[in-house]
A and B are shown apart, each in its own frame.
Chain A
Amino acid sequence: MNLDYTDAQKTFRDEVRAFLDAKLPERLTDAGRKGRALTKDDHEEWHAILNEKGWLAGSWPEEFGGAGWDAVQRHIFEDETTARGAPRIVPFGVAMLGPVLMKFGSKAQQDHYLPRILDGTDWWCQGYSEPGAGSDLASLRTEAVRDGDHYIVNGQKTWTTLGQYANWIFCLVRTSKEGKPQKGISFLLIDMNSPGVEVRPIVLLDGTAEVNEVWFSDVRVPVENLVGEENKGWTYAKYLLTHERTNIAGVGFANAGLANLKRIARAERAGGRPLIENPHFAARVARVEIDLMAMATTNLRVVSAAAAGNAPGAESSMLKIKGTVIRQEINHLTRSAIGPYAMPFQSEAVEGDNAGAIGPDYGARASGQYFNNRKLSIYGGSNEVQRTIIAKSMLEL
């Protein structure tokens, strides 16, 4: 056993660091540190910087314009960028749809859509969840009925993250009601500018509206927008979900969050000394740090196995549960550290530069982030569903 990275991996890490030193705008990392929500322009700016370097799609093969990284390289990249507070790469086009098109899409779809993901022409969002079909995805009801060379789509999707920015949505739709519910689902690409598509924002506990409902009324979608075969969408959806689960542990986010928590706890004073020196508070910070150190290694073990060609199975579920619980504990401690200044409702601070923050500017978003990150254990298959997966596949219960 050897916990060291190889020389090639170390060289790669140095290369990533040098790139970030030179190219990562401070304006964007500052936003991350203070919890300001990124605008569409912010995301697009960062995507363009990465794309210019050929690093926007690290995992894509080079033939499709990707960097062709293995799992360890991807991990190093994510580790370095999140530790710096760089924006995450918006996953819908790059991490979710891209891999599905490369594996199941037609040549025409690959040629048309993949370059547009990289150069920012298209902003994709995900149309999976529906009211009534959350973690039980197979019960979805949005319907697509064939009418000549079009599908007519009717129904409603929900929790569509950043859908307000998107011009395209990839959807799971019901094309058959025969047999098992998984058997009648198709994977459809829909232009958000089509007549009959309506996007409505959902306001969350932190006052922001990063998620939406998307309504379809008699939306006409050309049949060439079907990916793969009709009624085989469940297979593609599952493939997409395995890709969504890369970086599921969020080690970089947790490290950045922990560093931020410590910075705040050094600045805040309780009982005449820095909060970080309070033994009870320090014990809780230490406890989550110890958990995070072990989890980072669990993550590396999975990454390492994946780089050697072993697709992670239920290990993803373990990482999702542990990773989200750790990040939520860090969010809780950060909110607690702010004291009475956690009370002001500062949703405006998310949009602006925190200049008008009530209380210390580093605390303006502590409560908002605590509430917002309750989602971590709910979305992408709730932690309860993940536990069932572990029990079934690892324990065979």
Chain B
Amino acid sequence: MNFELSDEARMLQDGLRRFLRETYDAKTRNAAAEAPQGFPRAVWDGLAEMGVIGALFTEDQGGFGGTGFDIALVFEELGRAGAVDPMLDTGVLCGGLLAELGDTEAVEGVIAGGTQLALAHGEPGARYDSSTAETAAARDGDAWRLTGRKAVVVNAAAAEAFLVTARTDAGLGLFRVEAAALDFRPYPLNGGGTAAELALDAAPATLLAEEAGAILARAEARATLAICAEALGLMEAIRGLTADYLKTRKQFGQPIGKFQVLQHRMADMLIEIEQARSAVINLAGNLDGPDRDLHVAATKNLIGEVARLVVEESIQMHGGIGMTMEYDLGHLAKRLTMVDHRFGDALHHLERFIALRAA
């Protein structure tokens, strides 16, 4: 058994952490929130140049990593920096799907950083049930046309194209729809980034797969690992900020960190974050194994519960300053809170876990 990173992994981690520390701060982030695409383009280009996107793919796919541990490593660092780039949407979700489909040219574009994509899968009212889609695909000669609605399509503002799920005779199909073919209005998200509601009215589409259920499930499992690892990084950053604050903030004549009640709560938070780390490791190590779905459910549930504790306790221990957007904690806490609203929340995965264990 070995929980140590390989030398290569450690180099990637060190480089990524240094790059983000040097390039990414509240100013960059706030400027990005105002920019039309919703993330700092220069940081994205830098990540691509470092080869960070390539770490999400295997050598066969044109990358140099692609294991669960590679994904976890990258996303923990992005989380630690509170980064708002679309690594999850363009990289793990869309890039992962294209790689499964064997579209090496498209994957190359993703790895090089020049392509921005968004997965349009969820629908209004579908909540976290990813197995259903009411959007319908109809043949139109050699081409296809899609009709339906897609909800909270993340990274919509920057995407040049959407990968869209829709019903075909064979099952749940996957299509490509050019962003230019659609009329939509992006909106900002809590915690950064953009999304949009898509109204598809016989929108022209290119077929990628007539039955994509299995590869979608796999992509979503990888994305769930990514967002859990990001949550872990966010927790680590929040823990650091909070510990520093307890040492500097004085009340009643002493640093508030001298109060035992806060020490104990900090200690409890630390224990839970270690649990979160172990859960992420469990999922990373089982991402390609037979118990993948059980680990997805267990990890996402645990991350959701610990995230809530970390967010609420850190804001409480900071007092009023933790409620403001001016201070870094606000961004990190909001981003961590929103983790529970993608790919199923703690309750959703508790039920999945119970069902899988009973099966």
Instruction: Point out residues on A near B: beta carbons under 8 Å.
Output: 129, 132, 134-136, 139, 158-159, 202-205, 207, 211, 268-271, 278, 280-281, 328, 332, 335-336, 339-346, 358-359, 367, 370-372, 374-375, 377-379, 382-384, 387
Known: A278-B347, A343-B195, A377-B316. 10 other contacts (CB 8 A): A135-B251, A139-B251, A270-B348, A280-B350, A332-B308, A340-B342, A342-B190, A374-B315, A384-B262, A387-B261
Contacts of B326 in A (CB 8 A): 202-203
B323 to A374, Cβ gap below 8 A?
A: yes
Asked whether B187 is an interface residue with its Cβ less than 8 Å from the other chain, the reply is yes
Q: Known contacts being A340-B152, A367-B190, A384-B261, is A204 close to B324, with CB within 8 Å? A: yes
Asked whether B17 is an interface residue with its Cβ less than 8 Å from the other chain, the reply is no
B189 to A340, Cβ gap below 8 A?
A: no
Asked whether B141 is an interface residue with its Cβ less than 8 Å from the other chain, the reply is no
Nearest CB on A from B330, distance (A)? 5
Closest to A358 in B: B187
A382 to B319, Cβ gap below 8 A?
A: yes
Q: Known contacts being A280-B347, A358-B187, A378-B320, is A340 close to B333, with CB within 8 Å? A: no
Closest to B250 in A: A132
The answer for the CA separation of A105 and B251 in the assembled complex, in Å, is 31
B128 to A340, Cβ gap below 8 A?
A: yes
B351 to A134, Cβ gap below 8 A?
A: no
A374 contact from B128, B262, B316, Cβ within 8 A: B316
A270 to B187, Cβ gap below 8 A?
A: no
A340 to B341, Cβ gap below 8 A?
A: yes
Contacts of B252 in A (CB 8 A): 136, 139
Contacts of B348 in A (CB 8 A): 270
The answer for the CA separation of A281 and B128 in the assembled complex, in Å, is 14
B320 to A379, Cβ gap below 8 A?
A: yes
Contacts of A203 in B (CB 8 A): 324-326
Interface of A is mostly: mixed
Asked whether B124 is an interface residue with its Cβ less than 8 Å from the other chain, the reply is yes
Contacts of B312 in A (CB 8 A): 328, 374
The answer for the CA separation of A372 and B330 in the assembled complex, in Å, is 11
Contacts of A384 in B (CB 8 A): 259, 261-262
Closest to B317 in A: A384
Q: Scan residues 324-359 of chain B and give those whose CB is less than 8 A from a CB of chain A.
A: 324-326, 330, 333-334, 337-338, 340-342, 345, 347-348, 350-351
The answer for the CA separation of A251 and B334 in the assembled complex, in Å, is 27
Asked whether B151 is an interface residue with its Cβ less than 8 Å from the other chain, the reply is yes
Contacts of A281 in B (CB 8 A): 347
Listed by A's residue number, 12 A-B pairs whose Cβ atoms lie within 8 Å are: A139-B251, A205-B330, A205-B334, A270-B129, A278-B351, A281-B347, A336-B345, A339-B127, A343-B191, A358-B197, A378-B322, A384-B262
Nearest CB on B from A258, distance (A)? 18
Asked whether B125 is an interface residue with its Cβ less than 8 Å from the other chain, the reply is yes
Nearest CB on A from B32, distance (A)? 14
A134 to B320, Cβ gap below 8 A?
A: yes
The answer for the CA separation of A205 and B340 in the assembled complex, in Å, is 17
Q: Known contacts being A269-B125, A343-B195, A343-B342, is A378 close to B323, with CB within 8 Å? A: yes
B187 to A344, Cβ gap below 8 A?
A: yes
The answer for the CA separation of A148 and B259 in the assembled complex, in Å, is 44
Contacts of A377 in B (CB 8 A): 316
Asked whether B82 is an interface residue with its Cβ less than 8 Å from the other chain, the reply is no
Q: Chain B: how many interface residues by the 8 Å CB criterion? A: 46
The answer for the CA separation of A205 and B197 in the assembled complex, in Å, is 24
Q: Scan residues 183-241 of chain B and give those whose CB is less than 8 A from a CB of chain A.
A: 187-191, 195, 197
Contacts of A372 in B (CB 8 A): 323
A344 to B195, Cβ gap below 8 A?
A: yes
A158 to B188, Cβ gap below 8 A?
A: no
B195 to A204, Cβ gap below 8 A?
A: no
Interface of B is mostly: mixed
Q: Scan residues 41-86 of chain B and give those whose CB is less than 8 A from a CB of chain A.
A: none
Asked whether B257 is an interface residue with its Cβ less than 8 Å from the other chain, the reply is no
A205 to B320, Cβ gap below 8 A?
A: no
Contacts of B154 in A (CB 8 A): 343
Asked whether B122 is an interface residue with its Cβ less than 8 Å from the other chain, the reply is yes
Closest to A346 in B: B187
A342 contact from B320, B341, B350, Cβ within 8 A: B341
A129 to B341, Cβ gap below 8 A?
A: no
B127 to A269, Cβ gap below 8 A?
A: yes
The answer for the CA separation of A203 and B33 in the assembled complex, in Å, is 15
A344 contact from B190, B322, B325, Cβ within 8 A: B190
The answer for the CA separation of A175 and B317 in the assembled complex, in Å, is 31
The answer for the CA separation of A387 and B315 in the assembled complex, in Å, is 18
Q: Contact flags (1/0) for B143-165 with A, using CB distance below 8 Å?
A: 00000000110100000000000
Closest to B346 in A: A336
The answer for the CA separation of A270 and B348 in the assembled complex, in Å, is 9
The answer for the CA separation of A352 and B351 in the assembled complex, in Å, is 38
Nearest CB on B from A3, distance (A)? 34
B323 to A341, Cβ gap below 8 A?
A: no
Contacts of A343 in B (CB 8 A): 152, 154, 189-191, 195, 338, 341-342
Nearest CB on B from A264, distance (A)? 13
Closest to A132 in B: B250
A159 to B320, Cβ gap below 8 A?
A: yes
A340 to B251, Cβ gap below 8 A?
A: no
B325 to A205, Cβ gap below 8 A?
A: yes
B341 to A135, Cβ gap below 8 A?
A: no
A345 to B188, Cβ gap below 8 A?
A: yes
B319 to A359, Cβ gap below 8 A?
A: no
B323 to A204, Cβ gap below 8 A?
A: yes
The answer for the CA separation of A204 and B330 in the assembled complex, in Å, is 8
The answer for the CA separation of A164 and B341 in the assembled complex, in Å, is 34
Contacts of B188 in A (CB 8 A): 344-345
Contacts of A359 in B (CB 8 A): 124, 151-152
Q: Known contacts being A202-B326, A343-B152, A371-B334, is A134 close to B319, with CB within 8 Å? A: yes
Contacts of B338 in A (CB 8 A): 342-343
The answer for the CA separation of A138 and B191 in the assembled complex, in Å, is 36
Contacts of A345 in B (CB 8 A): 187-191
The answer for the CA separation of A377 and B125 in the assembled complex, in Å, is 33
Closest to A268 in B: B127
Contacts of A387 in B (CB 8 A): 261
Q: Known contacts being A159-B320, A205-B323, A344-B195, is A271 close to B251, with CB within 8 Å? A: no
The answer for the CA separation of A343 and B338 in the assembled complex, in Å, is 6
Contacts of A335 in B (CB 8 A): 337
Nearest CB on A from B268, distance (A)? 15
Contacts of B262 in A (CB 8 A): 384
Contacts of B345 in A (CB 8 A): 336, 339
The answer for the CA separation of A278 and B351 in the assembled complex, in Å, is 10
B324 to A205, Cβ gap below 8 A?
A: yes
Closest to B325 in A: A203
Nearest CB on A from B224, distance (A)? 14
Closest to A370 in B: B337
Contacts of A270 in B (CB 8 A): 127-129, 348
Contacts of A271 in B (CB 8 A): 129, 351
